[in-house]
Structure 1
Amino acid sequence: MGDFQQFVADVTSRLSTMSKNELYVVGDGLDRDSLWLTFLDSFPAGTNLRFRERSEYDCSTCRAFIKHFGNVVEIHDGRVRTVWSGVSASDPVFSVVAAALDEFVLSLPLSTVFRSGQAQYGTKTTRTLRDGQVEVWHHLHGRVANRHRVEDVGAAQGTFDAAVQVFQRGLAELTHHALDTVVDLIDGNALYRGAEHRQAVTEFRSLQNRWTQATDRRAFVFANAMNPAARLRNTVIGTLVQDLGAGVDLEQAVRSFEAKVAPQNYQRPTALITPGMVKAAMKTIAELGIEESLQRRFARLSDVSVTNVLWVDNDTQARMKDGIEGLLMQAATSRSSGALLRDAKPEEIPVVSFMKDVLPGAASIDLWVANSYEPHLVSLTTGRHPAAPRLFRWDNDFGWSYGGNVTDSIREKVKRAGGNVTGKLRVSLSWFNHDDLDLHVYEPNGDHIWYQEKRNKLDVDMNAGGTLSREPVENVTWTDRVPDGEYRIEVNQYRKRDSTQGGFVIETESNGKTEHYRHERAVGHKETVEVGRMTVAGGVITAFRPGRDVQRGSVARELWGITTEQFVPVSTIMYSPNYFDDNEVGNRHYFFILKGCVNDQPTRGIYNEFLRSDLQPHRKVFEVLGDRTKCEPSPDQLSGLGFSSTIRNSVVAKVTTTGGRRRLISIQF
């Protein structure tokens, strides 16, 4: 007959788990009786005596529960899942019932967000007296989290439905080209206070890219409809994107934007390109015969001559242009299996000495890719037509493109938020969503530093209210006297708003040394996490004991196909193309091409800084051309980390020599 009590327990548990995140309903205008009938009709023959008086499976209590919660769903990893998904999988009767309900509910389209006027539906048991005996009847019942309860269900669902409609129209109407153009205008300082809109535009562009790749696009819209960037279409910057996408002239569209947001006497600091400028530039392009040169792509290993490679991994040699065997080092394949200690201190070696003394004897090289290196992600580009005239100041057709300052270091985020990073001791908190996390520090004498008692040390407190950020920080700095002793550091979740990206990172700095401690699990509402105990002597951190669930190091991320905060194998090392062959033009960059590193975004192949002198008068037009001729992603590209010879920096490399020796080296740029 099946285990009904276990079925009830499974459904109750499933609903409770689902309700921790956002819930939705399917079947707009659904006749709820169809859910109930599906439930009754799904029992295998002989297992539900529907017409027996007071049948356990068809009482009014169970009926009310199914009609209210039967079509409630969640969106998990981009897919819709019902309250019946996976319920009673091992039960021969109720697994069939659950599967039938699951199939029926999944056949219905997403309708709106789930909201309810009450949290509890149904009751666990009821009792009746029959022939002098007390009978206990079990029922379907469930409870949802308070976040789903509202007084006016219709108003809450109406707000959500409007957000979905705005998001859907934006995804359909705002073109990639128009979004890219607006970002370029902002970056070129051509829009009044444009920087204030950059995050919204780029975040919407990211959402749109993910939407185009989503398996279930409607589920993606529902799951992201309440993202502030989703309403871009109905903002003033969204109107500019609409105008450009609809073919409105660039000058006219920008003037319309400025009329809405800028004061009457506003003078744009950067001129937009005009049709006349375009005609003049195109005349020069035609005269120089460089139209084909404008067509760019990601460079491949087979494009690069062996003479321009400083080092190459054994596995990569055969793919080099002109053949590599006999021209580069003959590295042994044997490698030591001994592991380097995590906290081993690396040798500090200048990059010139590394290239001269270490590379010739290296069999393999792995680079530590820290989160802070995201701006150093770089791709090599080249022309689609090798015989076309050169565009750049050096005698080859190669260029490069850095990923850009997408994410700053925690220190830079604190500075940008107005915090002090120059004190004797600093403790900073960084997280990655709209939650309101609070940093608490207890000094050795018991003084409690937090948002209610800042003690002239807490100077940044974000996401407490007003404007919300997805790159928030909090900061505590000691500028004069730093008490010696043990400090306790805690993080409290004051207000939970998001269900994604729930971890955080603590950064400490003293005596010029920076350390990171990460907590990867989401912090629950009102939950307090003990980050650790920090010992300070002479104003310097001498020890740090992490709390439970806290680990040393930053939170690893997936960037360009590689995982950060770990060692990644290097396939090739080379100079930047302006130093290929006999060229020595401008600043030298050192490129470490990483295995598996793939830039998945369209990337500029032309930068004004690269252009030869006779093209410089047309810089503004080439700025636009650079955007219109982006290199499309390809799997066999040359991408990795790049470092300039003019900017002080360092990167840790794990080198295995041809003799099997392993070295940990900090390369100094």
Structure 2
Amino acid sequence: MDNDNTVFSNNVKYDNSNDQYPQFSEVIKHHFSTFDNLPLFTTDAEGLFEVFLESLPHEARQHYTCSCCRHFVNRFGGLVSISEDGEVTSVMWDDHNTPDFFVEAVKMMKQIVLKSRVTGVFISSDRVLGQPHSGGWDHMSVTLPTQKVYRSGVKTARQVMAEKREDFRILIAGLMEYSLNAIDQAVTLLESESLYRSDKVLGVAKFLQELHIKRQNTRNSRAQDNITWLAVATAPDGFCHVKSSMIGTLLDDIINGLSFDYISRRFAEKMNPSNYMRAQVAPSQGNIQQAEKIVEKMGIANSLKRRYAIFEEIPHFLWKSNKSEQKSSKTNGVFSNIIPKDKDAKSNKVSLPNTTMTWDKFQRIVLPTAESIEVMVDNPNRLMAIVTASDQHAPSILQWDNPFSWYYHGGIDGEIKRRVESAGGRYEGNEIRCSLIWEGYTDLDLHCVTPRGEHIYYGDKMSSCNGWLDIDMNGGSHRDYSPVENIRWSNGHASKGEYVFYVHNYCERGSGKTPFKVELEVNGQIYSYHGVAGNTGFKETIFTFDYVKGQHPDIPSTNYSSDNAWNVQPNSFVKVKGITNSPNLWNEEKVTHSGQHIFFLLDGCRDLSEGKGRGFFNETLKSELREIRKTLEAYTANTPIEDAENASACGVGYSKDSEWDLTLKIISNNSTRIIKIDRWD
């Protein structure tokens, strides 16, 4: 390995000019480069350098005893690649192209490597493995391709390798616990799209199914382990943690023989955006300190700040109104006071019959020729806003390659029953029930003044007229991120007369604006109200009605957001400025596991509550941030989205995972038609 051609051993001069060491070094580099696009693995191969020396002619060994080459061979000589059927290949030693002088040594080392056991996924933050040159000597070394070099300020390469070893252990345990038959049933259920947001779990279910089949196709336990190691190296983040993830819950329910209705209901509750991957308790001081370190190392302090997007920033549209781009044509000429004929005013518009179709059909058949589109805003849960990074130059924190994300106003809704029952309250079997939900650690309180003038609230939870506040949250030192309060009268126990329900903000622990929902049920009839609580001391009367036994009270329809939540008129058609899909689908590499949504951006629509707590959702963030999700949840719950007054990319949204029930008014080719879209496809 010396650049000189001679070396003395026991006073015997050795000439290494015929060894062809430079060619041997190049063969190692070339052979290693053929695995550039494949993951590498460590093995328990030992004693490689000693075998290398012993396989060389005795007189030449002293020439190849340098510590640099010893370190390279012993540390990296055992690296392997794994094929789809579990066979290992040495990534360093190629006896077919090695110069004759080194062939025997390479064969012996290769034989040891191929008989060894895989011990982990190889990850390195160094691009060059080995030391190519030192003190005029040339040594064995190889170079990793750029995409394989680990770059992260959060964890070291050794820490990630340790995590991969733990992933292997957990994945093996999951494969042992859940049979292929159970996984097949899970895949069938998920592919049927009968489970809410099933696309988020289908990927890991198919991953487990394919891995089970591959392992069963070989009876060699060593090959089975190798196949599993390959799966660990290539699996998306979180796929290996079977038992503790949503797929584990689904598989447990299948194995326990639960009914489809129960499985479906339980799956929907856990996959609800208000609950999925969201911390339900405040972060510990240790988690906050860890978050500070990670944010500093990743340089993403500014990345966490979010603002509302404006319509002109949206880079991708499926449809865009021409009117949104029109400039004013008003002049100061002689006839400027004369109002011209409106080109869009059609005196003989033809009204076509109402039609029901899927979004897929609407997009293909109707959308290309639509001149004007209006949406019936009749469900506050569909209201949404697109947000983006306040600092456009800050590093991305999202899983996709653009800074945009979104939230639904209805993200806190649709789960009142789950929260009431989870907290030990009674949701069903009541004559009168009133429930309040919100997000965050603010202490909102639900109050009721009864027909007898009694006051039911946190200070007096039971009344003589059988009313009872059975759930009270976020008072005192109690903290719950998904709180609920519940006042109820069991069947047959409610008094006749006037009831007054109101919401009071006892202690504000956020930005001063807290969206909430109140649901009133009287004799099985449900009424709901969406509002926004102001700062500490805020009070708002929600329901006032006279109750007659066995009858439904005369309550105005309040199934929509209150006027101070979103500035759109409920139960009315609103003009569409543009139609786009969700930002995770804008780029060439689409992140479909984050959902598939269609957004109708509406003229003049914006969230007046400033979207508290919805700057980002943990499930959309990069995997490096998973371990500090409790702190991030608390951060986004208490940090308003900026530039609310300039928001212009807001509207209503619909997903592939749910029923649509969307009514549109379409003007096209001198005709107006009402179209109802019932589902995605």
Instruction: Name the TM-score class by shorter chain.
Output: 0.3 to 0.5
Q: Which has the higher contact order (CA 8 A, sep 6+)?
A: 2
Output the TM-score relative to the length of structure 2.
0.38
Q: Which has the larger radius of gyration?
A: 2
Output the TM-score relative to the length of structure 1.
0.39
